[in-house]
Structure 1
Amino acid sequence: MTNAPRRYFGTDGIRGLTNSGALTPAAAMRVGQAAGAHFLRGDHKHRVVIGKDTRLSGYMMESALTAGFTSVGMDVIHVGPMPTPAVAMLTRSLRADLGVMISASHNPFHDNGIKLFGPDGYKLSDADEASIERLIDSELPLAAPAAIGRAKRIDDAAGRYIHFAKSTFPEDLRLDGLRIVVDCAHGAAYKVAPAALWELGADVETIGNAPNGFNVNEGVGSTHPEALQERVRASGADIGIALDGDADRLIVVDETGTLVDGDQLMALIAGSWAARGALKGGGLVATVMSNLGLERYLGGLGLSLERTSVGDRHVLERMRSGGFNVGGEQSGHIIMSDHATTGDGLVAALQVLAVLVARGRPASEVLHLFDPLPQLLKNVKVDGAALVNTRVKAAIADGEARLSGTGRVLIRKSGTEPLIRVMAEGEDLALVTAVVDDICAAVRAA
C-alpha cells in the first residue's frame, strides 16, 4: 500500500519559504486548528507547548498558530526561543497534549517550519500527520465562546531545560578548567547552551549569540563552522561546539581547529557507552550517508551499524523497533533515547565532554577514532525517472563492481528538489571520483 502524496508535511514537519505556501499566517492558523482538533481527546483541559527559534517570522507564526489552537479550545503555553529538544522535553514534563517548534532548523532566516510533537515528546507518526492534513482541508467546528483556549507564557522554561541538560552529565565529573567556545548559530540555544556549560564549571566563550531575526545560521553554526574553527585556534580553547538554528545538531572542533563530524561523535558515544555497559542494541543506528569507516570501526569493537534512509525520523523508528539507544546522522543530529526523544545538540555535546574530561587527553587525541574513507557526493539536476534508464542502471552496476569489496555506491532522489544524488566512497579517491563522474554523466545523458 503506497502512502498518499503529502500537501503540507515533508520529511521533518512543514517547511518552506515564509509567507508562501503552507507558511503563511492563514495556513499556520489552519494547521493549529487541525492539529488542535486532532489531539482534543478526552474531557480534560487540553494544552499545547509552542517554542520557536530566533528568525523574524517566528513571532508571526507563533501568533497564527496560537489563534488556531485557541479557536478550537486548546490552551497554549509559550516558552519563547528554545531548542527543538527542549520543546519535546517540556511537552512531556508539562503533560501537554501537543508540542510545536517553529523553526527551519539550519535553513536561512527567510525560511520557517512547523514541527509537531505528540504528548510522549516524539515527532508525529505518518498516520497522525495524514489525519492532520485531512483536517486542514476540512471544515472544523470552532469552540463555543466560553470554551476558547487561553494563552500564557511561562518564565522558567529555560531553567527547566538547563536543569534537564545538566542532569545528563555524570554526577562525578565537572568541566572545571576546560575552555570551550560554543557557537549558537544566532539561534534557539543562544542563552541556554552557554549557561549550562558555565554552570558545569567550564570557561565559556560564545559566538553566534546575538540574534537579530535575520542572522540565524548566517556564517555561523554547525553548517558554517569556519568562524568557530578560527576562534578556537585564536583563543587556545580546548574544544569548540557548534549547534544549528534549533540546536538539534552538533559539530565539534578540536583544539587544533579540525572538524569532527557526527560519525566520529557517534563512534565516541557508542564506544564509551558500550565500555560501561550502557549501550543497547549491540551497536548504533545511522543513515546510508554515514562513512564506511564508522562501520569498520564499530565492527572492530564488536558493535554493529544499522543503516536507514536519510532522515532522523527513519533513524528513530529503527532505534525504537530494534532496542537501540544511540543513533544519528553524519550531519551531527544525534539521538540518545535514554535522555531525549529527538536529536539534542547540547546533550550530545555533554556526552562528548564527559569522555574528554574522564580521559584527560586533548580533544585531537580523543575525538578522531577512525580515518574516514574518501567519500564524494554530487547532485545532478534531473527528474528521478532517469534512474530507470538502462544506461543509468548499467553505469550504477559498473560502479558497484569497480568498488566491490573496497567501497560502495549510493544513488537516491532528493525529497525536496528535482535532483539525483550520486555518492560513492572507497579506499581509492581517484576510483571513487571516476565512479561518481561516470554515473553522473549517464544520468545527464538519460
Structure 2
Amino acid sequence: MDFEAVANYSRLHAKPPGVSLQYGTAGFRTKAEDLDHTMFCMGLLAVLRSKQTKSTIGIMVTASHNPEEDNGVKLIDPLGEMLAAAWEAHATRLANAEEEELQAVLTDICQKEGVDLQHSAFVVIGRDTRSSSKKLSQSVTDGVSVLGGQYHDYGLVTTPQLHYIVCCRNTHGNYGTATVEGYYQKLSKAFVELTKQATSHRDGHMCLKIDCANGIGALKLKEMQYYLPGSLVMHIDNDGTKGRLNHLCGADFVKVHQKPPVGFEMKAGERCCSFDGDADRIVYYYIDAAGRFHLLDGDKIATLISTFLKELLVKAGQTVTFAVIQTAYANGSSTRYLEETMKVPVHCGKTGVKHLHHKAQEFDIGVYFEANGHGTVLFSKAAEEKIRYQAKEEKDNRKREAAKILENTIDLINQTVGDAISDMLLIEAILALKNLTVPQWDAMYTDLPNRQLKVKVADRRVIDTTDAERRAVTPPGLQEEIDDLVKKYPLARAFVRPSGTEDVVRVYAEADMQEHADNLAHEVSLVVYHLAGGVGEPPKTAAS
C-alpha cells in the first residue's frame, strides 16, 4: 500500500472540521458539501473489501428520499446485499479519521479482516440525479485509484440497478447480464410472459400514473418503456423537468403526510404510485368516489405478493418453507389477515431492511417489506431449482402452469434489495392476473387506526428493547405500565424504541378507533417521559 500516495490524495479531499458521521443501514448521509472526504475514504474501503472478498464491490452515491442539498454513499456487498455489519464499523472509523490517522486505520482494517493487498480489486460506481453526485463520484474514483483498484462508472442508475449489477458480476451472469440493458431485458421479458394470459389487458386496467419524486426513477422508466411496448401504459409525473428532487412528492412524502404529491392530479379510482429519489421504495394510492385518499403501503404490498405466491405454491403442489417478515410498525390488521385468513407464517424483525433481509434468508421463500414501501422477495437456491425444474418437467398441466408463473415471478423480482421498478411491475402483473382493481386490493383488510409520536429524552440509551423491539427491558417498570395501558382499548397494541440517530424515543400505538389510538399513544408518551428521563415540557396531546 502506497501510504505516501494515499496521504497526498487525502489532502485533496480534506476532512471538514467538526463533521462526525455514522454508517448505518442507509450508509452515510449529510449535506453534500461535507462529503468529499467521506467519498474518498469509501473508495479506499471498497478496494479493501474487494480484495478481501475477491469480488466486485459497489458504491452508490445517493441520499434516497433526503432533500436535494443532501447526499450520501452506501457500499454494496458481493451478492448485491448491504455492507456486512463489521465493515460498517470500519467505514465509520475511516470516514472520521484525521489525515494523520488514515494509515493506521487502513492497516488495522487489513489486519483485522485478513486483507491480502496483492489481490486485485474491482469496484462499480453509480449515482443519482443530484447536482452534487457527479463531483462526489469523482472523489470515490480517486479513493479507488490511489489503492490500485480498477473501476467501472455506470453513471446515472437507480440504487437497485447497481445492486443488480454487482450481483450479476459476482455470479458470472447466472443472475443476469451486468448492464442496465440486461436489467431491463430480464424484468421486461418476465413481465410480458406473466401478463400474457391477463384479462386486464382488454379492460384498461394496465394503466398507471407514477410520481417519480423528480429523481432517477423517471429517467430509467423512460428508458424501460422501449422494452415494454403496449404491455403497460405508464404516465410519468414529477420527472425532474420542473420540480425539485423529493420536494413535496415521492414515496416518503406520500407515506408520512398520507396525501398525494402536491399538484398531482388524480381521478377517482385511478391507480397511482410514488417512488422515492433513488427508486428503491414504492407506495400505491388512489382516491375514491367521495374524494377520500387511500394509501397502500408496504404492508398492503407484502400482503398482495404473499397471497399471490401462496396460491401458486398450493396449485403447484410445492412444499417449501414460506414466511412474511415484518417490523413492529406493521399494521396489526395485516398481520392478522396473513396469519388467520391466508395461513401464512409471519415473523417480526428489527427495524431496518438489512435485518428483514437476513431473517427472510432463513426460509425457502421470504417476503419482506417495511411499511415505508422498501422490500422484496427472496428465494432460496433450492426453492428456485425446484420451481424451474417443475416448470419444465411437470406432467400435470395445472401444476406446470403454476410453476411457470412462479418461475417468471422469480425473474421479475430483484432479490438483492427493495426495487421500486421491479416491485411496481410485479404488483401490476399480479393485479392483471387476478383481475383486481386497486380498491379491491385495498379491501383485503382494513388498517387499524394508529398514531406515532416522539418523546425527547436526555439519553435514548436508557431504553433497551427485546422481541424485535416490541418490548422494553429498561427502564424498570416501563413495559408493565405500557401493558396496563394497552388493556384499556380493544385491538390495542403499543411499543417504544429509541431512535438510532437522536435522543428521542419513538412511540407507536394502534387500536380499534383513531381516538383510542391517539389516547393510547399520548398515555404511553407520558409514561416514557416520566420513566425514561424526558426533557422539556411533558407531551400535551396525542397529536403534538
**CA offsets 1:260-316 (integer angstroms, 9 cap, x no match):** 111111100000011011895332111111011011111211111111111100100
TM-score (norm 1): 0.77
Q: Who is 2:209 aligned against?
A: 181
Separation in 2 of the partners of 1:232 and 1:301? 35
Instruction: Work out whether 1:29 is the aligned partner of 2:12.
Output: no
| SS state at 1:337 partner | strand
Alignment of 1:224-303 (within 5 A): 224-225=253-254, 226-227=259-260, 231=264, 233-234=266-267, 238-254=270-286, 256=288, 258-277=294-313, 281-299=321-339, 300-303=341-344
For the 8 Å contact 2:46–2:123, the answer to whether it is kept is no
For the 8 Å contact 1:66–1:76, the answer to whether it is kept is yes
Q: 1:231 Cα shift?
A: 4.0
| SS state at 1:258 partner | strand
| SS state at 1:223 partner | helix
Alignment of 1:361-400 (within 5 A): 361-382=436-457, 383-385=459-461, 387=463, 388-390=474-476, 392-400=478-486
Instruction: Label 1:215 to 1:374 Cα distance change in 2 as closer, same or farther (>3 A).
Output: same
For the 8 Å contact 2:50–2:122, the answer to whether it is kept is no
For the 8 Å contact 1:52–1:80, the answer to whether it is kept is yes
2:237 pairs with one of 190, 207, 215: 207
Instruction: Label 1:255 to 1:160 Cα distance change in 2 as closer, same or farther (>3 A).
Output: farther
| SS state at 1:70 partner | helix
Instruction: Label 1:260 to 1:52 Cα distance change in 2 as closer, same or farther (>3 A).
Output: same
Q: Who is 1:413 aligned against?
A: 498
Alignment of 1:3-402 (within 5 A): 8-20=22-34, 24-41=35-52, 45-95=120-170, 157-169=179-191, 171-173=193-195, 176=201, 177=204, 178-196=206-224, 199-200=227-228, 201=230, 202-210=232-240, 215-225=244-254, 226-227=259-260, 231=264, 233-234=266-267, 238-254=270-286, 256=288, 258-277=294-313, 281-299=321-339, 300-338=341-379, 339=413, 340-382=415-457, 383-385=459-461, 387=463, 388-390=474-476, 392-402=478-488
Question: Structure 1 stretch 294-303 or stretch 199-208: which is displaced more?
Answer: 199-208
> Which structure is larger by alpha-carbon Rg, 1 or 2?
2
Separation in 2 of the partners of 1:96 and 1:75? 19
Instruction: Label 1:326 to 1:64 Cα distance change in 2 as closer, same or farther (>3 A).
Output: same
Instruction: Label 1:259 to 1:279 Cα distance change in 2 as closer, same or farther (>3 A).
Output: farther
Separation in 1 of the partners of 2:287 and 2:265? 6
For the 8 Å contact 1:49–1:76, the answer to whether it is kept is yes
Instruction: Label 1:198 to 1:354 Cα distance change in 2 as closer, same or farther (>3 A).
Output: farther
Aligned AA (1:25): D
Q: 1:80 Cα shift?
A: 1.6
For the 8 Å contact 1:169–1:351, the answer to whether it is kept is yes
Q: 1:392 Cα shift?
A: 4.1
For the 8 Å contact 2:328–2:351, the answer to whether it is kept is yes
Question: Structure 1 stretch 394-403 or stretch 238-247: which is displaced more?
Answer: 394-403
Question: Structure 1 stretch 172-181 or stretch 49-58: which is displaced more?
Answer: 172-181
Q: 1:49 Cα shift?
A: 1.1
Q: 1:45 Cα shift?
A: 4.6
Separation in 2 of the partners of 1:85 and 1:420? 31
2:528 pairs with one of 430, 434, 443: 443
2:515 pairs with one of 430, 439, 442: 430
Separation in 2 of the partners of 1:208 and 1:217? 9
| SS state at 1:190 partner | helix
Separation in 2 of the partners of 1:316 and 1:230? 35
| SS state at 1:60 partner | helix
Separation in 2 of the partners of 1:441 and 1:255? 36
Instruction: Label 1:57 to 1:237 Cα distance change in 2 as closer, same or farther (>3 A).
Output: farther
Question: Structure 1 stretch 335-344 or stretch 88-97: which is displaced more?
Answer: 88-97
Instruction: Label 1:8 to 1:228 Cα distance change in 2 as closer, same or farther (>3 A).
Output: closer
Q: 1:36 Cα shift?
A: 0.8
Q: 1:244 Cα shift?
A: 0.4
Q: Which runs of 5+ in 1 are unaligned?
A: 1-5, 98-118, 122-155
Aligned AA (2:36): P
Separation in 1 of the partners of 2:438 and 2:475? 48
Separation in 1 of the partners of 2:260 and 2:520? 34
Q: Who is 2:87 aligned against?
A: none
| SS state at 2:329 partner | coil
For the 8 Å contact 2:158–2:278, the answer to whether it is kept is yes
For the 8 Å contact 1:409–1:425, the answer to whether it is kept is yes
Q: Which runs of 5+ in 2 are unaligned?
A: 1-19, 55-117, 380-412, 464-473, 534-544
Q: Who is 1:132 aligned against?
A: none
Question: Structure 1 stretch 191-200 or stretch 385-394: which is displaced more?
Answer: 385-394
For the 8 Å contact 1:198–1:204, the answer to whether it is kept is no
Separation in 1 of the partners of 2:492 and 2:481? 16
TM-score (norm 2): 0.64
Question: Structure 1 stretch 250-259 or stretch 45-54: which is displaced more?
Answer: 250-259
Separation in 2 of the partners of 1:323 and 1:358? 24
